[in-house]
Amino acid sequence: MNAVFLFIIGIPAIEIYLMIKVGGVIGALNTVLLIFFTAITGVFFARIEGLKAIGSGFNQLIKNEIPIYELISGAALAFAALLLIIPGFLTDVIGFLLIIPFTRKIFINSISSKFNKKKMKTNVIEGEFEETKEKEEKDKQ
């Protein structure tokens, strides 16, 4: 609960700080125009990458394979588009990193490896057993 609260308060605080710093360097109007420019450009590139992910997903379906990576990639692209629409520079940087295929693949692999490790750990059940004399006597009869 505390991490979520810090996240909800921390991200806007960082965004406001960055907007003030950038506005002090390039001016207030240029900062606003830059925020609009990054949102429009980011959504445009997210659309292009999203269409590529859909095409790749259809190719996987044609090959009778499940397009798991394409589904996760599409969700990451939708999240990237959302981050790019939200005004601010930190969210724009994270959104652009998710749009770039190389960094998106690194992000998806790091997340999926964490889930695979958890899955492996839950499948192992350790224990001990011993046969009792009652079982041996029943087997003799």
| Ranges of H-type helices in the chain | 2-26, 28-62, 68-85, 89-99, 101-122, 133-140
Secondary structure of 35-46 as H, E, C letters: HHHHHHHHHHHH
User: CA of 121: how far to CAs of 63, 109, 115, 127, 128, in Å?
Assistant: 32, 18, 10, 15, 18
pLDDT value of position 121? 55
pLDDT value of position 139? 63
Q: pLDDT at residue 96 above 80? A: yes
User: CA of 20: how far to CAs of 6, 17, 88, 95, in Å?
Assistant: 21, 5, 11, 20
pLDDT digits (tens, 9 = 90+) for 21-69: 999 999 999 999 999 999 899 889 989 988 999 999 999 999 998 888 8
Q: Distance between CA 38 and CA 102 in Å, rounded?
A: 20
pLDDT value of position 40? 92
